[in-house]
Amino acid sequence: MSTHDDWTRRRMLGTAAGTGVALSGAAGLAGPTAASAHGGGPGPKDRMKIIAIEEAVLLPGLITQGTALNGAIPFKPEVVAEWMRRLPDITRYRLADMDANGVTMQVLSLAPPGVQMQPDAAVAVRDAQVANDALAAIVAAHPTRFAGLAALPLQDPKAAVREARRAMRDLGMAGFLVNGHTCGHYLDEPQFREVWAVLEELGAALYLHPTPAPAGDWAIPKDRPELNGPLYTWAAETGGHALRIILGGVFDDFPGARLILGHMGEFLPFQIPRLDVQIQNIATRVALKRKPSEYLTRNVAITTSGVMDDTMLRAAIQAVGIDNVLFAIDYPFEKSAQAVGFLRGARLSPGQRARIAHRNAERLLAL
């Protein structure tokens, strides 16, 4: 069977074969931890399948340097040190943490800002290729424990299209993650239409993750640096980016495209009634075919990352539908024990819990 035929079969059937392919780059990566090999973690009655899909990793060999942890956000130094200890790791801390908390699989992606802030397009293309190869090697070494969301060098849209096809068809990636705007450019802009076209062609979802790099000056966090990052600006920036995509008519042009937003939808599910009312009063530049709520339930999925509250979860389910809510931890920035405990304790039926815990991710990412 050809590579393309095998890729097509995996995307259609959504089998575990789509989580990784054998790559020479896997040499030197250790196997499962002792706890994994001997069935560590929760007891048999607690072994619900759990797939966490917004899990960060730092990968070797990149020219582009920097993370969300060395910007203007006043994170505590001891917290940053712990995160930096865990971000590059696969087998020592990460697998042990997964086993201790009953996490079946992490879907890994390059920690923000990834390649998005690289001003040299050629370097961005090179780094995306290196990162995706390294990620594929990790998945190949641990195909039942990890899957990957590939990086996209949007600085060069044509190269991003080529890398998208390679990542899905040759490397077996599960989808893509973009860390916010790309050097100030947003995904509703015309040059990215060919990228949306290939995502729709591949049946691949795009996870839109916050970036630590703001686009231009913003007065709100001035003299209040603690507002930068997870307390406010990341959700506002990312939710606004998603609204740009909707208002730009992307989902009218590519109705099969799928966007994923973390952190319980970056404010948007809780704004749906207001969006639907106010869109009738505003002269939009693009004449939309649907109400905002319809795009937010047809083309957008959300994850629970960092919002571990039953009231918020139930409201989000009511707003966007149970089939559009997926579990995520945001490891290592959030605690796995807290996130998994929230999932297990949420007021959900067994069927609802299974959808959020793994079934929606398996369907959307063909795991």
Known catalytic residues?
330
Phi and psi at 90, nearest 5°, equal: -120, -50
Kindly list the strands in the beta sheet with 105-110, ordered across the sheet, starting from the edge strand earlier in the chain.
51-57, 105-110, 146-150, 175-179, 206-209, 259-261, 300-303, 325-326
Place of tokens 């290939």: 198
Alpha-carbon gap, residue 363 to 304, rounded angstroms: 17
Asked if 221 and 228 count as a contact pair (C-beta separation under 8 A), the reply is: yes
Asked if 279 and 290 count as a contact pair (C-beta separation under 8 A), the reply is: no
Asked if 187 and 208 count as a contact pair (C-beta separation under 8 A), the reply is: yes
Alpha-carbon gap, residue 49 to 47, rounded angstroms: 6
DSSP character string of 89-153: -STTTHHHHHHHHT--EEEEEEPTTTTTT-S-HHHHHHHHHHHHHHHHHHHHHSTTTEEEEE---
Q: How many CB atoms lie within 10 A of CB 215?
A: 16
In total, the chain counts a number of residues equal to: 367
Of 15, 36, 147, the closest CA to residue 102 belongs to: 36
DSSP character string of 25-81: GGTT-----HHHHTT-SS-GGG----EEEEEEE--TT-S----TTSSS----HHHHH
Alpha-carbon gap, residue 312 to 310, rounded angstroms: 5
